[in-house]
Amino acid sequence: MEPKIVDLPKLYFIGLKAELTMREINQVCPALWSELMSKSQDLFSNQDLMCLGVCITPETSTENDSFIYMAGFASDKPLEGRKGYVLHEISASKYAVFTHKGSINTLTSTFDYAYKTWLPASHYKVHCHEDLELYDQRFNESDPENSEMDIYIPIQ
């Protein structure tokens, strides 16, 4: 699995936020996405926005450490705040983009490959600890075996 290397401009994010540990990820993240989709479809459907997950981890972390996960939408133009949603700016950066194929339940295997296999063998280093998950028209929850989404790892 060889990533694409891309440069992304600064992005403006709006969505929902949770603090969790790796042990809670399979319960908290799906619930956060479900809440977002149930209450946000009407608010954001007329805008040209990317569906994005943002994972902010401490520089050094273990399975027991907490991290922040946000589910929402992003644009290259500033977004207006809305009650009940968090705003977040994602700095312009270079990213290694890995395409995850298959069920969302196996997403950690793609992250493990990116961080434990590809990154140590590459000449890149992690730029910051803010990974992105892009969910576009290739993502299909009802057909997980044929579903795809992209993981963006910030590099320098």
Please give the pLDDT value at position 7: 96
Main-chain phi, psi angles of 19, to 5 degrees = -105, 130
CA–CA distance, 112 with 101 (Å, rounded to integer): 14
Domains and CATH numbers, the chain: 4-155 (3.20.80.10)
Quote the DSSP letter at residue 84.
Answer: T
Please give the pLDDT value at position 147: 95
- Asked whether residue 106 carries a pLDDT value surpassing 80, the answer given is yes
What are the pLDDT digits (tens) for 59-101? 766 667 899 999 999 999 998 888 999 999 999 999 999 999 9
Please give the pLDDT value at position 26: 81
Please give the pLDDT value at position 43: 67
